Amino acid sequence: MTSTAKDTSHTENIKDRNPKTGSFCDTGLFRRHVGNPILSRRDWPYPINSVFNAAAVRLADGDTLLLCRVEDLRGLSHLSVARSANGINEWRIDTAATLMPNPREYPEEIWGIEDPRITYVPELEQYAIAYTSFARGGPGVSLALTKDFKSFERYGVVMPPEDKDAALLPRRIGGNWALIHRPVTSLGAHMWISYSPDLRYWGNHKVMLEARRGGWWDANKIGLCSPPIETAKGWLVIYHGVRQTASGCIYRLGLALFDLQRPDICLQRGDSWMFGPEAPYERHGDVSDVVFPCGQTIGSDGDTVNLYYGAADSCMALATGSISAMLSWLDGNSSAREAGNY
């Protein structure tokens, strides 16, 4: 079945839209695709519970590849590839799991593998996939390399539990590989960056971005979304902030910019969120009120961002934005730190 068979269980509540503009009420930096959700369990060639939080990459042949988190009917996740010529529909989905957990050799994967992020690494001529491996010790960060998304070289756990939301930078920084990740302690969940000479031994750990405190939308828990976008002004990072409320969590997206040579140095951070769960398929699902991008592709103009995100831990959606618009938005919306506000 292709993605043209849409999940009609999500009917839109017109009250969610601004009556004057007809659009949802966030910043307008990203426009949701009218065909959303672009992938759901109804599209899958084998029985599953849900498909969400996919990594994304544009292949050399022009196809968009999504490496999807697929939750099976036991509740455990594996990763599966979907390919499409236009990145919107006509997805060609692997007929069986592409990357299954392998707990016999990698016991850290016993409860599944989740939330991949793909980085193409020119020096290695390979794609690096950072993903969450889930086992009795909690979620940790694992790494695998591939050339073709058919065979994978696993590096095992590179960041022990509790840690997730990781992506490799595409090139060495000061001679070392750099991995962004999100360890959790009882005092908070902040974004860190760590360095390695060989992708196996990691050190020189530094805090990259802290969750804010108190009433902020991104208080206490944040994490990297899709891999950073390299721009002339710095590494542009889309991150998620988790608001804990009496009726559950709300996952929204913010923006921050980091120094190209010292990616632990934050140059700008948006005050408000720039995208949040508003459409019905984002508001209602297995985990309601979640938008969770793990990948994007950049258009041939070098500016258009096709952001692929999991919605409500139930389906995949697409929203389109622009690098230059995100950078100018940051110029006008990052005053909190100067004002000593967090």
- Footprint on this chain of ligand BMA (rule: CB under 6 A): 53, 114-115, 251, 287, 290, 292, 310, 313
Please answer whether residues 138 and 160 qualify as being in contact, where contact means their C-beta atoms are separated by less than 8 angstroms. no
Looking at the Cβ atoms of 59 and 287, the one nearer to ligand BMA is 287
Ranked by CB distance to ligand BMA, the top (closest) residue is 287
Find the shortest distance in angstroms from Cβ 233 to ligand BMA. Answer: 29
Please answer whether residues 163 and 188 qualify as being in contact, where contact means their C-beta atoms are separated by less than 8 angstroms. no
Looking at the Cβ atoms of 54 and 144, the one nearer to ligand BMA is 54
Find the shortest distance in angstroms from Cβ 308 to ligand BMA. Answer: 13
Find the shortest distance in angstroms from Cβ 189 to ligand BMA. Answer: 9
Looking at the Cβ atoms of 134 and 329, the one nearer to ligand BMA is 134
Find the shortest distance in angstroms from Cβ 65 to ligand BMA. Answer: 20
Find the shortest distance in angstroms from Cβ 309 to ligand BMA. Answer: 10
Looking at the Cβ atoms of 117 and 269, the one nearer to ligand BMA is 117
> Residue 28: left (phi > 0), alpha (psi -120 to 50), or beta?
left
Looking at the Cβ atoms of 79 and 257, the one nearer to ligand BMA is 79
Q: Which long-range contacts (CB under 8 A, 24 or more apart) does 75-83 make?
A: 75/49, 76/101, 76/111, 76/112, 77/101, 77/112, 77/113, 77/114, 77/134, 78/112, 78/113, 79/113, 79/116, 79/131, 80/51, 81/149, 82/39, 82/54, 83/59
Alpha-carbon distance of 295 to 251, in angstroms, equals: 16
